[in-house]
Amino acid sequence: MTTEQSSSNAGPPPAQSPVLPLRRAWLVLVVVVIADVMDVLDSTIANLAGPSIRAELGGGDTTVQWVLAAYTAAFALGLVTSGRLGDLVGRRRLFLAGMAGFTLSSLACGLAPGVAFLIGARVLQGVCGSVMIPQGFALVKIVFSPEHLRRALIPFGPIMGLATVAGPIVAGWLLHLDLFGGQWRSIFLINVPIGVAAWILGSCLLPRHAGEDTTARLDLRGVGLLTLASALLIIPLVQGRELGWPIWTYAMMAASIPVLALFAVSERRSAHPVIAPSLLHKRSFVVGLVIVCGFYAALTGFQLALNVMLQLGARWTPLHTGLTLIPWALGSAIAVGLAGAFLAERLGRATLQLGLGIAAAGLITLGWTIAHTQDTLTSWTLAPALLITGFGSGLVFIPIFDYVLGDATTDEVGTGSGMLNAVQQFANATGAATLGTAFFAQAGHSNFFDAGELITALAAVLYLATLLLVGLLPKHAQQAGH
């Protein structure tokens, strides 16, 4: 999320490497997409593996939340500095270092002997992912000519959206195959051969210089304040319920507010702010990021609750649970195709409103289904509601990406993309923390099915609240890189 400064703030423009031939530029894009898909899958598939991890390694309810939140929070916080480090150290060097670290930490996750080791490895995995991802966006920006940049960015929305919905299904399949024993270990170990192949491709294809800015500086004070504010919020949200909400959890959450205010003051005074001021003056970017927060927090919380409910409440296997989500993935895939083909361009923000409204209706229907079929729950009874929910969610993936980056200039596209990714990951961590805590609290008072009903209702309310914000966006998104 660390930003590349606009020319007015960064001093002399950095030397740009020549744009690569189009064929090689597309190969660079393939390497970057592989890295992004690995990241997205690792932030989603752990949802399904949570019960399996807890069954083998032990731990309480928060184990499931921490396995997810440790990665996503570390990833989001790491993005604060990694973009600027790319300016200083070199984008190619950091991308390859991040890919190597991500691969090795995935190996560590797969071989984890205990819960604490696994959570620590997930933190390291998230940090390495945060080093890798922003460099990829910046490399794409530099290897494509301005007239081809927009075309190169188009695949990111649908690919990331489909990777998000495919995660639980892939996880269910891997858990069923049990390639390396312990069921859940395969979802991490599968990254090792993919990561090695991507590293080799990257070392051969990535340009050695990608517009590094030697005048760039790290705003260590801003980075420290933002990291502290985030930690003060995430840690008590995940751990508080299991500890009985001691007074320090409330104190930490309250303290995050003044620390965040100090960060805002520091940003205004800094010569090298963490977040580019030019982007924060653009309504589509700011409102779009808030919508991303609400959307992905609800999405992650809903996925976590449904996966745990079906495995611990209905006693379904991970494969059965993953296959049950096929209607959701199918609905998302159809909607992504429709939005990419013509809906997003023709309907503009109405596509977002339609998608969020349909997704909320699907979640309400899902909650009703769970409430009335607890004793006879099957994949088929859940299928209609999941199909509707998936279709609505799929309509959101592409247009929200266009709105967040629509006002960005060519110089801001890489920065904006990194911030979008950071906000998405932080929303995932927050969703797992808040809705996950509500889920396990309700399950402790009654049962997993009642907890599932509660989370579907809360996620639907969050979607509807997010829908109201869409009216603040312009009717149609502009094109990034104008």
Q: What is the mean pLDDT of residues 205-222?
A: 70
Q: What is the mean pLDDT of residues 319-330?
A: 86
List the Cα angle 162/288/87 in 5-degree steps. 85
- pLDDT of amino acid 410: 57
Highest mean pLDDT among 35-39, 340-344, 405-409, 458-462 belongs to: 458-462
Highest mean pLDDT among 167-171, 244-248, 387-391, 435-439 belongs to: 387-391
Q: What share of the chain is helix, strand, coil (3-state, %, to 5)?
A: 80, 0, 20
Distance of alpha carbon 66 from alpha carbon 200, whole angstroms: 32
Is pLDDT larger for residue 252 or for residue 482? 252
Give 18's pLDDT tier (boundaries 50, 70, 90).
Answer: very low
CA atoms within 13 A on the CB side of 373: 16
What's the pLDDT tens digit per position in 71-80?
A: 877 887 777 6
- Is the pLDDT at 228 greater than 50, yes or no? yes
438, 458 contact by CB (below 8 A): yes
Distance of alpha carbon 353 from alpha carbon 416, whole angstroms: 23
Highest mean pLDDT among 278-292, 337-351, 364-378 belongs to: 364-378
Q: What is the mean pLDDT of residues 153-164?
A: 67
Where does residue 445 rank: exposed (0-12), middle (13-18), buried (19+ CB within 10 A)? exposed
> Mind giving me the DSSP string for 235-286?
HHHHHTTTTT--HHHHHHHHHHHHHHHHHHHHHHH-SS-SS-HHHHT-HHHH
Give 7's pLDDT tier (boundaries 50, 70, 90).
Answer: very low
> Mind giving me the DSSP string for 204-219?
HHS-S-----TT----
- Is the pLDDT at 41 greater than 90, yes or no? no
Give 212's pLDDT tier (boundaries 50, 70, 90).
Answer: low
427, 368 contact by CB (below 8 A): no
Is pLDDT larger for residue 230 or for residue 330? 330
Distance of alpha carbon 167 from alpha carbon 326, whole angstroms: 11
Where does residue 4 rank: exposed (0-12), middle (13-18), buried (19+ CB within 10 A)? buried
66, 422 contact by CB (below 8 A): no
Highest mean pLDDT among 41-45, 228-232, 363-367 belongs to: 363-367
- Is the pLDDT at 127 greater than 50, yes or no? yes
Of 250-264, 289-303, 323-337, 418-432, least confident by mean pLDDT is 418-432
Largest CA distance in the chain: 68
φ, ψ of residue 315 to 5 degrees: the values are 65, 35
For 211-250, strand residue ranges (E) read: none
φ, ψ of residue 114 to 5 degrees: the values are -155, 175
Q: What is the mean pLDDT of the chain?
A: 81
What's the pLDDT tens digit per position in 170-196?
A: 777 887 777 766 678 888 888 899 999
- pLDDT of amino acid 181: 67
Q: What is the mean pLDDT of residues 401-410?
A: 71
Q: What homologous superfamily does CATH list for 22-218+272-470?
A: MFS general substrate transporter like domains (1.20.1250.20)
> Mind giving me the DSSP string for 134-176?
HHHHHHHHHHS-HHHHHHHHTTHHHHHHHHHHHHHHHHHHHHH
* Sequence-separated (6 or more) residues with CB below 8 Å from residue 342: none
3-state secondary structure of 18: coil
- pLDDT of amino acid 140: 79
Give 17's pLDDT tier (boundaries 50, 70, 90).
Answer: very low
What's the pLDDT tens digit per position in 269-298?
A: 777 776 767 777 788 888 888 999 999 999
Q: How far is CA 126 from CA 53, 253, 414, 454, in A?
A: 18, 23, 20, 30
Neighbours of 288 (CB within 10 A): 29
Q: What is the mean pLDDT of residues 214-238?
A: 77
CA atoms within 13 A on the CB side of 35: 35
- pLDDT of amino acid 16: 46
Distance of alpha carbon 130 from alpha carbon 223, whole angstroms: 14
- pLDDT of amino acid 361: 96
- pLDDT of amino acid 19: 66
Distance of alpha carbon 222 from alpha carbon 26, whole angstroms: 35
* Both tokens assigned to 282: 């653009």
Length of the chain in terms of residues written: 482
* Both tokens assigned to 440: 């396990």
Q: What distance, in Å, lies between the first and last C-alpha atoms of the chain?
A: 21
* Sequence-separated (6 or more) residues with CB below 8 Å from residue 308: 50, 51, 64, 439, 448
Neighbours of 313 (CB within 10 A): 18
- pLDDT of amino acid 428: 79
- Is the pLDDT at 481 greater than 50, yes or no? no
Give 407's pLDDT tier (boundaries 50, 70, 90).
Answer: low
Q: What is the mean pLDDT of residues 86-101?
A: 85
Distance of alpha carbon 258 from alpha carbon 67, whole angstroms: 28
- Is the pLDDT at 149 greater than 80, yes or no? no
Q: What is the mean pLDDT of residues 362-380?
A: 92
- Which amino acid appears at position 354 of this protein? L
Q: What is the pTM of this model?
A: 0.74
Q: What is the mean pLDDT of residues 328-356?
A: 85
What's the pLDDT tens digit per position in 329-339?
A: 889 888 888 88
Q: Where are the domains of the chain?
A: 22-218+272-470, 219-271
Highest mean pLDDT among 65-79, 123-137, 148-162, 401-415 belongs to: 123-137
- pLDDT of amino acid 295: 93
- pLDDT of amino acid 8: 36
Distance of alpha carbon 272 from alpha carbon 218, whole angstroms: 7
Radius of gyration for the alpha carbons in the chain, expressed in angstroms and rounded: 21
* Both tokens assigned to 78: 């790491």
Is pLDDT larger for residue 149 or for residue 102? 102
Give 10's pLDDT tier (boundaries 50, 70, 90).
Answer: very low
472, 283 contact by CB (below 8 A): yes
